[in-house]
Structure 1
Amino acid sequence: MKLKDKVCIITGSASGLGHGIAKRYVEEGAKVVIADLKLDDAKATAAALAKMGPGTAMAVAMDVTSEEQVNAGVAEVVKAWGGVDVLVSNAGIQIVHPVEEFTYAEWKKMLAIHLDGAFLTSKACLPHMYKAGSGSVIFMGSAHSKVASALKAPYVTAKHGLLGLARVIAKEGGKKGVRANVICPGFVRTPLVDKQIPEQAKTLGISEQEVINRVMLGETVDQEFTTIEDVAEVALVFASFPSNALTGQSLVVSHGWFME
């Protein structure tokens, strides 16, 4: 098993991509922390995962924009399981508007969840990784970490920023045994993406099917959505990689929508 007894905190993991990563990690023997804004949902997810084996799971309440909640959640994990080996900063939301229609509050909310959340969780976890002499920090970026799309100014800005933060952590953590990476998925059919389809159709004046076929999948090689399982496999590679060879790198998982 690639993650036997490794303590892995995954934010926003009561559902969606985070849940898929947690499931894959448990299959590889990890001790997974379901860190989510909705504690009841997190507890239900953790209970279900703990029955799967061979790993196990626990739940903590975590608003990633609250330094107090992040620090308390990480402290709870360390008290229970002794440390932190892997952080997957995955929590995120989506709001779509043209730039001039975004309120400043919406802009700040998007950056707080995606970018401040990555900073705060990293800041809380890194001392424990440094103490152990090993660790993996993984940010959930996007193909929008590399390219831009209309209607997504704060999302694109935040996802670009994650690349810079990961590279700094890679530089600072290298001699301390800590790696940092960014996963950059294309469109994954989660509730986050489903919510965008009617919103974009209305804003762009096209049908929902056109949003799917043209906006979301038009540049892929096979007109296929990226799957949660695709992303989870990449998260496993980064979490279990045995050396610093890949640190600071990002990997696009998009069915060829964006290539580099």
Structure 2
Amino acid sequence: MQLKDKVAYITGSASGIGKEIAILFAREGAKVVIADLNKQAADATAAELQATGAQAMGVAVDVTREDQVDASVEEAAKAFGGIDILVSNAGVQIVHPVEEFSFADWKKMLAIHLDGAFLTTKACLKHMYAQGRGGSVIYMGSVHSKEASLLKAPYVTAKHGLIGLAKTVAKEGAKHGVRANVICPGFVRTPLVEKQIPEQAKTLGITEEQVVRNVMLKETVDGEFTTTDDVARVALLFAAFPTNALTGQSLVVSHGWFMQ
């Protein structure tokens, strides 16, 4: 087991990519904290993991609220004896052309993706540093951490920003044995992406099939969506990596959509 007795705090993990990461981490021996805006869903996912013999708990958190982030991290650390891994995964999507984007939606997007990453990092680093056993901070970026797409100005901006945050955390955390990385998935067919398909079809004046084929998967090498399993395996790589050799790096997981 690559993560035996490590404590992993994973935001947005009651469903989608976050849940897949939680399942894999639990299978690898981690004690998993399902941190989600929906407490009922978080508890249900934790119960699923507990039924397999894993140690898991659900906590409610709005990642844009410092008080809630701090309280949920403290609750998790007290229950499981610290924090070793943070996966900052919570996110939403809103699509509009820049000239039609409301300032309120712009601020909402940046708050969830960037403020949430900052607040959870700050809360978890305190424990990682104090414990003296190192740690791993993993941000859920996107191909949009590297590239831009139409209609996604705040999302692209926030995902680019996560790379800067990770690099800074990597430099500051090195002396404490704490690594920081960004996973940059292509399109993963989660509810967040499913919601975008009709929205983009309407805005671009094309069919939903054309959105999938000509927008989302056009540049992949195999016409395939990235899967939650693809992303979870990379999260495990970063969480379990034994040295600082990969710290500060971002890894694109996109079936060849974006190549570095």
> Which TM-score applies when normalising by structure 2?
0.99
1:1-260 superposed matches below 5 A: 1-53=1-53, 55-133=54-132, 134-260=134-260
Cα distance in 1 for partners of 2:165, 2:52 equals 34
Maintained 8 Å contact 1:26/1:52: no
Check whether the contact 1:7–1:81 (CA below 8 A) recurs between aligned residues: yes
Looking at structure 2, the residues matched to 77 and 197 of structure 1 have their Cα atoms a distance apart, in angstroms, of: 36
Deviation, 1:67, is 0.1
CA distance in 1, matches of 2:110, 2:17: 19
State the Cα distance separating 1:49 from its structure 2 match: 1.0
Between the aligned partners of 1:75 and 1:26, the Cα distance in structure 2 is 20
Cα drift, residue 50 of structure 1: 1.3
**What's the RMSD between the two structures over aligned residues?**
0.5
AA of the residue aligned to 1:132? Q
Distance 1:51 1:256 in 2: 37
Q: Deviations over 1:122-168 (max 9, x none)?
A: 00000110112200000000000000000000000000000000000
How many Å apart are 1:235 and its aligned residue?
0.3
Over the matched positions of the two proteins, sequence identity in percent amounts to 73
CA shift, 1:56, in A, is 1.7
Q: Which amino acid aligns with 2:63?
A: V
CA distance in 1 between counterparts of 2:55 and 2:74 reads 18
- The CA distance in 2 between the partners of 1:137 and 1:66, in whole Å, is 19
Q: Distance in 1 between matches of 2:25 and 2:77?
A: 18
Q: CA deviation at 1:83?
A: 0.5
Question: 1:68 deviation in Å?
Answer: 0.3
In the alignment, the residues of structure 2 paired with residue 48 and residue 111 of structure 1 have an alpha-carbon distance, to the nearest angstrom, of: 32
Secondary structure at the aligned position of 1:79 is classed as: helix
Shift of 1:259: 0.3
Shift of 1:20: 0.4
Report how far residue 64 of structure 1 moved.
0.2
**Structure 1 unaligned spans of 5+:** none
How many residues align structurally? 259
- Once the two structures are superposed, residues 204-235 of structure 1 have per-residue CA deviations (whole angstroms, 9 ceiling, x without a partner) of 00000000001000000000000000000000
1:252 partner amino acid: V
Task: Write the distance in 2 (CA, Å) between the matches of 1:181 and 1:240.
Answer: 12
* SS at structure 1 position matched to 2:42: helix
TM-score for the superposition, normalised by structure 1: 0.99
Amino acid corresponding to residue 82 of structure 1 in structure 2: G
Q: Partners of 1:18 and 1:186 in 2: how far apart?
A: 15
- For the residue of structure 1 that corresponds to 2:96, the secondary structure is coil
The Cα shift of 1:13 comes to 0.4
SS at match of 1:180: strand
Gaps of 5+ in 2: none
By how many angstroms is 1:79 displaced?
A: 1.1
- Letter of the 2:248 partner, please give it: G
Q: Which amino acid aligns with 1:247?
A: T
